[in-house]
């Protein structure tokens, strides 16, 4: 059991922003929804207008308050205080009781107030006193001469509702007060200051009131507000115009994006179709090259010829690897690369991978020590092919970039959820290493680092990027730690479901057992097989590979012939190519299934060079039972034959019959 990848100190895990796109889901340009944008813009403008109105109203109130305060404090207060200072409080108190206009104090004070008022420019200057709880009286009016309609004679009654709260506060607080609200009253719109009149015992016996006309100020402020409103309306009109312009631009941009999106999708579909076609076109001759060189290697040949054939086979296998990488990359890009889980034996998988790595390591005289605890669960459910691909990529890179020393392989399993484990694979080498500044570039597609230094090692720069995408698709990742000139450590982690919890034991022994099983093989001389392929070379390869099984083979060149043959006589298994003239494999499989009766159940295996992701599902959905990719892998062929040739027709191979 060990630490997870990336948790070791110093481990670089380059999740670079321009890394491989996620396995599922094609990258597509985002298209903004115009309705959402419209809603946003509407609310933006609504909020904008509300704020502007609030600002104007607040501003108006503020201006009015400022003006009121200014008038009251600078003009009203000094005036009323001057008037109050001239009034004898006791004489005033007496006058409020007698209300005698002949009282010399009345006339004398009235004239004094009139003089003060004339110099000041205020509207009204007067004194008031309480009479009853609900009525106050005008005592001395210094605003006009008697006889003037605006003049209030001594003792004029005034109902209290006509006064604002500041008036009453003056009695209660015994200090000067200012009016704050300016309603339209009988005397106009007023800004009022009130100053108390005290008698000799300090009681408030009345007040001096001083009013300035607010109508003019108010009309000026109203005019100012109207100007502001007009300005706002103008802004709104301009804003609305700009809003329309913006909306139109967004709409146009949206249409352009949709069009671009459509083109991208069309291009991606065209690319996939192209890849499907090209993959078929390339893999078909590859099948012939690899298959025939495999058959040729089984023939008695001079050693030099065998060497050449081995060269052809290796070159073919390399080329096939590159083609597979490019197809995988295209699959990842278009989001069609899928993981196909199925049960597999852990030890067999590790043995297969190590066998390949060991051959490569031996060629370069590198040691390949392993550290694989036997307690890893015996069998898992996962995509064995993809796990093998990841490990082979890491191991073959390690061998490729190491000239002397070792490549070490370790594997660990850590329990995860109930029925799952996290498998951690560590591939360590004593090779050329990677510079720290190059680590983040490592997983980018087509990036090969230090190409000059390596003197032309082969590769496309796709392997690691694909391996990381595959790991991520299996809920894991790849991390790397490296010291330039001394070696690298790649750690791949992925999640697998446990199928059989028992320990797998030592890899070599389990694998040997498997190898024994392979050697046992079988023959099926009574089994009838039909191979359908339009290329005679492919038919030859398939026949050659089937020869050791001693099955009876019939061949034909297209789907139409295959349908007729299946109608005429029963077959135990049909190996059907996909793309053929006259009638292709998919149509032929459907036609066979449509015949009904026994033909409905004849096993049909797709034999195709088209290895693009998603093909397996397509074949299974169209009446095929299984899938065998070309160039044919002998182990896969063996598994398919064992699966589909009826058990009653299979017999164990006697030693001289073993051919696998
Ligand atoms: P390639 O086909 O070029 O090997 P990969 O994607 O597998 O592509 O690797 C990308 C690059 O990472 C390689 O070109 C190499 O520079 C570097 N690299 C990968 N593995 C190792 C390693 N074990 N040691 C040193 N460099 C490595």
pLDDT at 231: 86
At 188, phi and psi to the nearest 5? 110, -165
Q: Alpha-carbon Rg of the chain, whole angstroms?
A: 50
User: Distance between CA atoms of 133 and 293, rounded to whole angstroms?
Assistant: 125
Could you give phi then psi for residue 408, rounded to 5 degrees? -110, 135
Nearest CA to ligand 1 atom 8: 461
Q: Beta-carbon neighbour count of residue 538 at 10 Å? A: 25
Ligand 1 pocket check for 401: Cβ under 6 Å: yes
Q: Residue 299 corresponds to which tokens in the numbers above? A: 């023939």
Rounded distance between C-alpha atoms, residue 466 and residue 459, angstroms: 13
Report whether the peptide linkage leading into residue 631 is cis, meaning its omega lies within 30 degrees of zero.
Answer: yes
What torsion do the CA atoms of 235, 236, 241, 247 make, to the nearest 10 degrees? 120
Cα angle for residues 443, 445, 451 (degrees, 5° grid): 80
Q: Which atom of ligand 1 sits closest to the CA of residue 449?
A: 16
Pocket lining: 459 vs ligand 1, CB cutoff 6 Å: yes
Asked whether 217 lines ligand 1 (CB < 6 A), one says no
Question: Quick one: three-class SS letters along 225-265?
Answer: HHHHHHHHHHHHHHHHHHHHHHHHHHHHHHHHHHHHHHHHH
> How confident is the model at residue 182, as a pLDDT?
60
Task: Give every CB contact of residue 279 below 8 A, 6+ residues apart in sequence.
Answer: 323, 327, 609, 610, 611, 612
Which pLDDT score, from 0 to 100, does residue 518 have?
A: 43
Which residue ranges in the chain fall short of pLDDT 50? 1-31, 455, 509-520, 656-660
What whole-number distance in Å separates Cα of residue 487 and Cα of residue 483?
A: 6
Q: Is 585's C-beta closer than 6 angstroms to any atom of ligand 1?
A: no
Choose the residue to mutate in 390, 444, 464 for probing ligand 1, maximizing ligand atoms within 8 Å of C-beta.
464
- DSSP, residue by residue, 148-209: STT---TT-EEEGGGS-HHHHHHHHH-S-EE-----EETTEEEEEEEEEEE-TTS-EEEEEE
Tokens of 354: 């190590």
12 Cα–ligand 1 center, Å: 15
Per-residue confidence (pLDDT) for residue 481, from 0 to 100 = 95
Please name the residues in contact with 588: beta carbons below 8 A apart, sequence gap of 6 or more: 532, 558, 559, 560, 562, 563, 576
List the Cα angle 414/415/421 in 5-degree steps.
85
Give yes or no for residue 176 CB within 6 A of ligand 1. no
For ligand 1, say whether the CB of 397 is within 6 Å of any of its atoms. Answer: yes
Say how far apart CA 28 and CA 254 lie, in whole Å: 14
Kindly list the distances between the CA atom of residue 560 and the CA atoms of 127, 533, 585, 600, in Å, as whole numbers in the listed order.
122, 11, 9, 17
Does ligand 1 lie within 6 Å of residue 488's CB atom?
yes
Predicted local confidence at residue 613, as pLDDT? 60
The enclosing H or E element of 429 equals: strand 420-429
C-alpha to C-alpha distance for 87 and 142, rounded to whole angstroms: 12
CA distances from 157 to 94, 96, 106 (A): 17, 12, 17
C-alpha–C-alpha distance, residues 557 and 534, integer Å: 4
Q: What span, in angstroms and rounded, lies between the C-alpha atoms of 552 and 530? A: 8
Closest atom of ligand 1 relative to the 460 alpha carbon: 2
- The whole-number pLDDT of residue 253 equals 92
- pLDDT value at position 596? 77
**Phi, psi (degrees; rounded to nearest 5) at 32:** -75, 140
Of the candidates 391, 318, 329, the residue with the CA atom closest to the CA atom of residue 613: 329
Task: For Cα atoms 529, 291, 517, give the angle at the middle one, nearest 5 degrees.
Answer: 65
> Is the CB of 87 within 6 Å of ligand 1?
no
Ligand 1 mutation pick, 20, 397, 435, max ligand atoms within 8 A of CB? 397
CA 538/CA 555 separation, integer angstroms: 11
b/e code 350-387 from CB counts within 10 Å (16+ = b) = bbbbbebbbebbeeeebebeeebeeebbbbbbbbbebb
460 lines ligand 1 (CB under 6 A): yes
Angle at 279 between CA 275 and CA 285, to 5 degrees: 155
Q: Where are the alpha helices (DSSP H) in 87-162?
A: 89-98, 104-120
List of residues 6+ apart from 291 with CB closer than 8 A: 538, 541, 542, 544, 545, 631, 632
CA-CA distances (angstroms) from residue 416 to 73, 89, 412, 413? 81, 97, 12, 9
| pLDDT score for 549 | 87
- Look at residue 348 and give its three-state secondary structure: helix
- Centre of ligand 1 to C-alpha 11, Å, is 17
What Å distances lie between residue 607 and 115, 296, 320, 570, 630, CA to CA? 121, 22, 16, 20, 7
CB neighbours of residue 496 within 10 Å: 26
Reference 464, options 482, 481, 479, 483; nearest CA is 479
Evaluate: CB of 366 within 6 angstroms of ligand 1.
Answer: no
Nearest to 566 by CA among 575, 574, 578: 574
Q: What is the pLDDT of residue 271?
A: 76
DSSP state of 607: E
Ligand 1 proximity of 552 Cβ (cutoff 6 Å): no
Cα(462) to centroid of ligand 1, in Å? 9
Bridge partners of residue 503, in order along the sequence:
377
331's CB contacts (< 8 A; 6+ apart) are 337, 612, 613, 614
Relative to the CA of 464, which ligand 1 atom is closest? 6
By C-alpha distance, which of 554, 626, 633, 637 is closest to 589? Answer: 626
pLDDT at residue number 354: 85
Atom in ligand 1 nearest the alpha carbon of residue 450: 16
């Amino acid at each position: 059991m060990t630490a997870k990848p990336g948790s070791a100190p110093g481990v670089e895990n380059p999740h670079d922003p321009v890394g491989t796109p996620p396995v599922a889901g094609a990258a597509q340009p985002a298209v903004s929804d115009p309705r959402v944008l419209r809603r946003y813009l509407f609310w933006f403008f609504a909020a904008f207008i509300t704020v502007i109105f609030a600002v104007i109203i607040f501003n108006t109130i503020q201006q009015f308050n400022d003006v009121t305060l200014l008038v009251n404090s600078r003009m009203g207060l000094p005036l009323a205080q001057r008037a109050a200072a001239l009034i004898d409080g006791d004489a005033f108190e007496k006058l409020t009781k007698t209300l005698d206009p002949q009282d010399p104090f009345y006339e004398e004070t009235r004239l004094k107030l009139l003089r003060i008022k004339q110099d000041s420019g205020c509207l009204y200057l007067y004194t008031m006193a309480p009479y009853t709880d609900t009525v106050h009286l005008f005592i001395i009016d210094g605003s006009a001469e008697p006889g003037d309609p605006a003049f209030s004679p001594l003792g004029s009654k005034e109902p209290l509702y006509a006064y604002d709260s500041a008036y009453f506060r003056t009695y209660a607080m015994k200090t000067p007060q200012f009016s704050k609200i300016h309603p339209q009253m009988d005397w106009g719109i007023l800004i009022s200051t009130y100053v108390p009149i005290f008698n000799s015992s300090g009681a408030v016996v009345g007040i001096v009131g001083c009013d300035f006309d607010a109508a003019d100020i108010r009309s000026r402020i109203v005019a100012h507000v109207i100007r502001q409103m007009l300005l706002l309306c103008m802004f709104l009109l301009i804003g609305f115009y700009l809003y329309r312009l913006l909306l139109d631009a967004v709409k146009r941009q949206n249409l352009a994006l949709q069009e671009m999106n459509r083109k991208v999708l069309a291009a991606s579909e065209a690319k996939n179709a192209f890849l499907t076609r090209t993959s078929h076109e390339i893999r078909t001759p590859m099948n012939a090259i690899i298959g025939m060189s495999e058959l040729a290697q089984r023939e008695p040949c001079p050693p030099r010829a065998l060497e050449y054939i081995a060269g052809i086979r290796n070159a073919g296998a390399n080329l096939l690897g590159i083609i597979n990488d490019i197809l995988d990359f295209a699959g990842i890009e278009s989001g069609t690369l899928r993981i196909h889980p199925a049960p597999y034996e852990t030890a067999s998988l590790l043995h297969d991978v190590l066998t390949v790595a060991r051959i490569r390591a031996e060629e370069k005289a590198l040691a390949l020590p392993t550290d694989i605890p036997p307690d890893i669960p015996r069998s898992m459910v996962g995509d064995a092919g993809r796990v093998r691909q990841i490990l082979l990529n890491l191991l073959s890179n390690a061998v490729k970039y190491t000239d002397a020393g070792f490549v070490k392989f370790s594997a660990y399993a850590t329990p995860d959820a109930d029925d799952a484990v996290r498998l951690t694979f560590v591939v360590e080498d004593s090779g050329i290493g990677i510079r720290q500044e190059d680590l983040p570039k490592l997983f980018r597609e087509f990036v090969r680092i230090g190409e000059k230094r390596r003197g032309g090692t082969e590769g496309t720069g796709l392997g690691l990027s694909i391996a990381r995408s595959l790991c991520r698709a299996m809920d894991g990742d790849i991390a790397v730690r490296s010291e330039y000139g001394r070696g690298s450590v790649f750690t791949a982690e992925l999640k697998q479901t446990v199928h059989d919890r028992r320990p797998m034991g030592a890899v070599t022994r389990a694998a040997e057992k498997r190898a024994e099983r392979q050697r046992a093989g079988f023959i099926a001389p009574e089994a009838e097989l039909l191979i359908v392929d339009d290329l005679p070379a492919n038919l030859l390869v398939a026949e050659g590979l089937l020869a050791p099984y001693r099955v009876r083979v019939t061949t034909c060149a297209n789907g139409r012939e295959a349908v007729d043959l299946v109608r005429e006589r029963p077959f135990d298994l049909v190996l059907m190519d996909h793309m053929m003239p006259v009638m292709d494999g998919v149509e032929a499989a459907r036609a066979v299934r449509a015949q009904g009766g026994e033909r409905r159940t004849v096993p049909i295996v797709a034999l195709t060079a088209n290895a693009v992701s998603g093909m397996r599902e397509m074949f299974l959905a169209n009446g095929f039972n299984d899938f065998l990719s070309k160039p044919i892998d002998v182990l896969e062929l063996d598994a398919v034959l064992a699966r589909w040739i009826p058990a009653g027709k299979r017999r164990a191979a006697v030693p001289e019959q073993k051919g696998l």
